[in-house]
Amino acid sequence: MTTVSLSGGPEPAVRAAVVSAPARTLERAWWQTHNAQRKIFGYTLLAPAALYVLLLVGAPFLFSLWLAVSDANVGDPVARFIGLENFRSAWEMDTFWIAMQNSVVFLVVAAIFKSLLGTSLAFLLLQNFRGKKLIRGLVVIPFTLPIAVSVLSWKWMYDSQFSVINWVLFHAGLIGGYGSESWPIWLGQPQLALAACIAVNVWRNFPFSAIVLLAGFTSVPLEVLDAAKVDGCTFFQRFRHVVVPMIFPILMIGLLFDTVFTLSDLSVVYLLTQGGPGNASKILPVLAYQIGIQAGNLGRGAAIALFLVPLLLPALFLVLRNLKRREY
Amino acid sequence: MAAPRTAREKEVRRDLLVYAGLTPFVLIAVFPIYWMLITAFKQEPDLYRMDNVPFWFNLPPTLKNFSTLFFQTHYGDWIVNTMTISAWVAVITLLTAVPAGYALARLRLPGSENIGIAIFMTYLVPGIILFLPLSRVVATLGLQDSWWALVVVYPTFTIPFCTWLMMGFFKTVPMEMEEAARVDGCGQFGAFIRVVLPVSLPGVLTSVIFAFTLSMQDFLYGLAFVSPGDQKPVPVGVPTELIRGDVYYWGSIMAAVLLVGLPVAVLYNFFLDRFIQGITGGVVK
């Protein structure tokens, strides 16, 4: 067959017809069966999305592993393998450890506040009252606004001199006038900068926790609660033994997603403080950006970004387990 | 207060308690938006006077901040860029995610559940890990310094999310519809295009909305890949071009983000439940 087609030989079409005609009458070729056609059709439909993701997420991820062990630089297209040098130099950098510590503090403190605020809000929204839809629509605005947009609004509210927050605090008699020692400069004082960034993250994501929880609460069938009530359970018992076990998975998955989003977000800190003053609010993503793009040291930037992986991995693993369990 | 006597009284009291509890949440959530709104319409001197009450206009409102924006900056370009990028991203997402979602949900492919989960998990690979290698990809494609870079990159998170979303949608369409179409002589592709797709239109629409809103949520890729002033999308252009050194034109900045932020927030609001369902439940829904 190949030789025929290679030599452009006579009538390949005729030959093909001769081969396939008896095949059709006797038994259809494997690719002609109904089952096989469905699979071919299916994988064809799947291919564009799968290829896109493989080429632009899978391959770059592997490429970032390569970058991290190379001396890749923006100016120099040829990268050499330098082993774990980038990881070692990051490891020995003071700024790296400050950023690592800030990232963990940021994550944990923000998660605590988001859980508390989110749970309270979810309980309130669970009640039936007039105007519920409108109020729900209003409280989720922080999560739906594009992040760069809302961070800029906060930057203006944190202004060193004309901060509206300070105006309120001043007129409530809680702080002294501008220039006095008790006038907080939210983004300029090392003790306040990270807290100010955390506050924005909490503000932005507590509605997310609330809505995820709300979905959890409303998925607890009322009959189960009623049954528990009939059986003589107190409100607290019902909450502890019926509601919590049923909503726990959904609460967990909300927190896991939030962890992934929060750990890898650079925009809040980058737009508010760029990690300053000094390194007071520097977190890993900001450091990776500054070293990788601004300083042009791709290799070391990639290595620093990869230090996020051990922090992300447990969350991703749990998400995965949850998704798998839900299939059945 | 005396104990409530009637059921009606009880109900009113409970409502009041709930409102009292919700008030601080609503205030905290909405205040930054209100602050943007009022700042955008204030005259410059009105912004910088601490002796007045800042929550309302002390000088007459003005549209000057908006005209500055459109006539003295690249803002018009950024809006056009944002819209064009989002539209391309939506097209790419639809062409890939809708067929993929269908294949995974309906065609009983071997390993389809795992493939579905694997694709969705890539949604969770953070941009901060991918942006350095992607900067190389973008440079290789010759797209650095153009908004086309973002058209290529944004589908890396819209495709996984929307594939997952569409899987959920297609699972809710009754199998009989396709079977009936097949009996009536439609091919596999015909059954998909002519029968299943039309009834899944709400799902397709939702995917388009998410392609838009998720693109608008990005900041990192835009910041890293697009530097010329006239090529940026709005969320990147405003903070990088309207802030020069220590000079802040707060009126114009707030006007700029408000014009884009508010419509996106409203749109997203309507589809928020879908988003939550998508990432927490997805397939099982």
pLDDT in tens, B57-107: 888 888 888 888 888 888 899 999 999 999 999 999 999 999 999 999 888
**Inter-chain residue contact A293 with B224, CB threshold 8 Å:** yes
Alpha-carbon dihedral B275, B26, B233, A307, rounded to 10 degrees: -70
Smallest CA–CA separation between B255 and chain A, in Å? Answer: 10
Residue A162: its chain B contacts at CB < 8 A? Answer: 47-48, 50
pLDDT digit string, tens, across residues A7-63: 444 444 444 444 454 444 556 666 677 788 888 888 899 999 999 999 999 999 998
**What average pLDDT is seen over chain B?**
86
B154 and B82 Cβ atoms separated by less than 8 Å = no
In chain B, which residue's Cα lies nearest the Cα of A55? B156
pLDDT digit string, tens, across residues A148-203: 889 999 999 998 888 888 888 888 888 887 878 888 888 888 889 999 999 999 99
Among A residues 257-296, those touching chain B with beta carbons less than 8 Å apart? 257, 260, 263-264, 266-267, 270-271, 284-285, 288-289, 292-293
In chain B, which residue's Cα lies nearest the Cα of A307? B129
pLDDT digit string, tens, across residues B181-192: 888 888 888 888
Smallest CA–CA separation between A274 and chain B, in Å? Answer: 12
Closest to A167 (Cβ–Cβ): which among B54, B99, B156? B54
In chain B, which residue's Cα lies nearest the Cα of A260? B124
Whether this prediction's pTM lies above 0.90 is answered by no
3-state SS string over chain A?
CHHHHHCCCCCHHHHHHHHHHHHHHHCCCHHHCHHHHHHHHHHHHHHHHHHHHHHHHHHHHHHHHHHHCECCCCCCCCCCECCCHHHHHHHCCHHHHHHHHHHHHHHHHHHHHHHHHHHHHHHHHHCCCCCHHHHHHHHCHHHHCCHHHHHHHHHHHCCCCCCHHHHHHHHCCCCCCCCCCCCCCCCCCHHHHHHHHHHHHHHHHHHHHHHHHHHHHHCCCHHHHHHHHHCCCCHHHHHHHHHHHHHHHHHHHHHHHHHHHHHCCCHHHHHHCCCCCCCCCCCHHHHHHHHHHHCCCHHHHHHHHHCHHHHHHHHHHHHHHHHHHHCC
Helix (H) or strand (E) run with residue B248 in it: strand B247-248
Q: Quick check: A273 pLDDT over 50?
A: yes
Q: Quick check: B1 pLDDT over 60?
A: no
Structure tokens at B280: 């927490």
**Inter-chain residue contact A56 with B97, CB threshold 8 Å:** no
Closest to A60 (Cβ–Cβ): which among B133, B269, B273? B133
In chain B, which residue's Cα lies nearest the Cα of A77? B136
**Inter-chain residue contact B128 with A266, CB threshold 8 Å:** yes
What is the sign of the dihedral through the CA atoms of A233, A236, A239 and A240? negative
Smallest CA–CA separation between A133 and chain B, in Å? Answer: 11
C-beta neighbour count of A33 within 10 angstroms? 12
What is the reported pLDDT for A6? 42
**Inter-chain residue contact A257 with B277, CB threshold 8 Å:** no
Residue type, A95: T
pLDDT digit string, tens, across residues B11-55: 888 888 889 999 999 999 999 999 999 998 888 888 887 777 888
Whole-angstrom distance, CA of residue B267 vs CA of residue A166: 33
**Inter-chain residue contact B22 with A139, CB threshold 8 Å:** yes
pLDDT digit string, tens, across residues A73-120: 877 767 788 888 889 888 888 899 999 999 999 999 998 899 889 888
**Inter-chain residue contact A203 with B284, CB threshold 8 Å:** no
**What average pLDDT is seen over chain A?**
82
pLDDT above 70 covers a percentage of chain B that reads 96
Whole-angstrom distance, CA of residue B145 vs CA of residue B224: 10
What is the reported pLDDT for A27? 61
What is the reported pLDDT for A1? 38
Which residues neighbour B157 within 8 Å (Cβ) at sequence distance 6 or greater?
B123, B127, B214, B218
Q: Quick check: B159 pLDDT over 90?
A: yes
Instruction: Note whether A248 contacts B: Cβ–Cβ < 8 A.
Output: no
**Inter-chain residue contact B128 with A289, CB threshold 8 Å:** yes
The question of ipTM being above 0.90 is answered as: no
What is the reported pLDDT for B5? 67
Bridge partners for B243 per DSSP: B248
